[in-house]
Structure 1
Amino acid sequence: MLHARHYPGDPERPAIGLHCMMGSGRLFEPLAAHLDGLIDLHAFDFPGHGRSPDWQPEEGVDLHTKVTRHAARMIERPVDLIGHSFGATVALRIAVGVPQAIRSLTLVEPVLFAAAPAAARRDEQDRLARFEQQGDWDGMLRQFLGDWGSPGEIPTDGPKADRLRRQMRMVVDTNAALMEDRADILRPDGLEQIAAPVMLIAGAKSPDIVHDISEALAARLPDVGRATIPGAGHMLPLTHAEQFADLTRMNLERA
């Protein structure tokens, strides 16, 4: 059973928040506080994250599919989807699959690497591959968290360190799916069918590849706005919560 989080608000505006890898549903707590009840926001912790149990691989079901199915089961009527990083790619997958179920789509730096130019994808893969080849999971953690906006001391002993290492392995496994778009999110005439308003948000200090991805997605989405927050990096939902909330509100009001 995945841990569920609820930030109560207007029952007529159901919303689902989908967090990043190595994060949790708590990512949306600052957003909910700034939106002051505008939406009724539910956010669950992915397997192996937050208060949810560890990820147990299933035959033929990867983590992306598991999270997508769980989120899709929560939708009973048109919903506002808000996703960050990995969670934003899940939101896109749902929107492409059932566009009529989406009221609005607010995406912070969706890491759908398959949408980026080939050279940028290779660079992203190579950044972590050398650590994997050496079996240096702690080094990979430092590289990954530094690249994506969470530098600082990383525990090397105890339960928290062990879970971080397990999460890092999940990141590596999931990156392959995102590099190859195994869920076929980018299929012809898929993004073009999303009629709901979409807001693509990025941090000015984020890795270049996220801007490449946003540009590629925006070129195909019928109703899309883009915003870049000055001084922000990948973890902008936490570091720039007020600006994130303002942009989310703007998109919600368009729906």
Structure 2
Amino acid sequence: MSIELYSSSAGSGPNVLLLHGLFGMGSNLGALARALEDSFCVHSLDLPNHGRSEWIEQMSLEHLASAVQGWAERKGMTALSLVGHSLGGKVAMRMALDNPALVTSLVVADIAPVAYPPRHAAVFSALAAVAEAGPRSRREAQDYMAQYIEEPGVRQFLSLSLQRDQQGLYRWRFNREGLERDYGAVRDTLVSMEAYTGPTLFVKGELSDYIKPQYKEAIEALFPRAQLKVIPNTGHWLHAEQPRLFNAVVKRFLTESSAES
């Protein structure tokens, strides 16, 4: 799939692609990128319909993975490691299952290859309220979001994707309508006839419920070499809540996997 993806790259060494979560952008994983760039060539991508990347009409996991693969192929990459958080983790899993010869190792942060119930109704309501109001400041946008979202951290995270238009009004950088339209597709179960047998690390936030014990069978069926690391005292946003520990765990795994390959 020839989709224009915005990316930033730094460092030298084996290629590592960082894939962010829903409503995010590549810079969300900036601390991890900086921790890795002394040993790897790190590429932080904005997924389709997010950040500065091109918008697409269908946003299934297959479409997202195909767009990332197309970007890598246009860059001439023949081997790479994937690190994905939340939605980015699902995209990374899909890509590894579909292109195992390309993906040398896989890190999945706080997500599993299972279907999830909808849990972002309040967020979509907040996004719509901001879009309809056309606020003139980030503070005004946060006030609209506060009517639907209690957590200040979530409102602050979403505010990172606001940009000012030519009329001086703040608009969403991501494809709000597209994300809501295809929300069910990106929450879906991953299915594959073949397992990915490369080195795989699942990283769970101790306080998060995104990776439950009952998902162990589904994980091992698709990723038989999967290891699990738990980051203590952190929730779903483990890379932001415990960056030093999370970055160290990911870097150690990628370094060991790179030596193995």
**TM-score range with shorter-chain normalisation?**
0.7 to 0.9
Structure-2 separation of matches of 1:244 and 1:105: 15
* Residue matched to 1:8: 11
* Residue matched to 2:182: 174
Report 1:156-171 matches (<5 A).
162-163=171-172, 167-171=175-179
The 1:78–1:131 alpha-carbon spacing in structure 2 relative to 1, beyond 3 Å, is: closer
Report the secondary structure of 1:28's partner residue.
helix
Report the secondary structure of 2:171's partner residue.
helix
Residue 66 of structure 2, aligned match among 66, 69, 80? 69
Report 1:198-209 matches (<5 A).
198-206=200-208, 208-209=209-210
Count of residues paired in the alignment: 231
Amino acid at match of 2:64: V
Amino acid at match of 1:72: Q
Does the 8 A contact of 1:64 with 1:174 survive in 2?
A: no
TM-score normalised by L of structure 2: 0.72
Higher helix fraction (1 or 2): 1
Structure-2 separation of matches of 1:89 and 1:197: 16
* Residue matched to 1:118: none
CA displacement at 1:200 relative to structure 2: 0.5
Amino acid at match of 2:154: S
Report 1:221-240 matches (<5 A).
221-240=223-242
* Residue matched to 1:186: 191
Identity of aligned residues (%): 20
The 1:129–1:215 alpha-carbon spacing in structure 2 relative to 1, beyond 3 Å, is: same
Structure-1 separation of matches of 2:123 and 2:30: 33
The 1:153–1:92 alpha-carbon spacing in structure 2 relative to 1, beyond 3 Å, is: closer
CA displacement at 1:130 relative to structure 2: 8.2
Report the secondary structure of 2:203's partner residue.
strand
CA displacement at 1:109 relative to structure 2: 1.7
Q: CA RMSD, aligned part only? A: 3.5
Gaps of 5+ in 1: 115-120
Report the secondary structure of 1:100's partner residue.
coil
Amino acid at match of 1:100: A
Structure-1 separation of matches of 2:240 and 2:101: 30
Amino acid at match of 1:246: A
Amino acid at match of 1:80: S
Structure-2 separation of matches of 1:107 and 1:44: 16
Does the 8 A contact of 1:149 with 1:234 survive in 2?
A: no
The 1:200–1:70 alpha-carbon spacing in structure 2 relative to 1, beyond 3 Å, is: same
* Residue matched to 1:41: 42
Structure-2 separation of matches of 1:69 and 1:244: 27
Does the 8 A contact of 2:93 with 2:113 survive in 1?
A: no
CA displacement at 1:104 relative to structure 2: 0.7
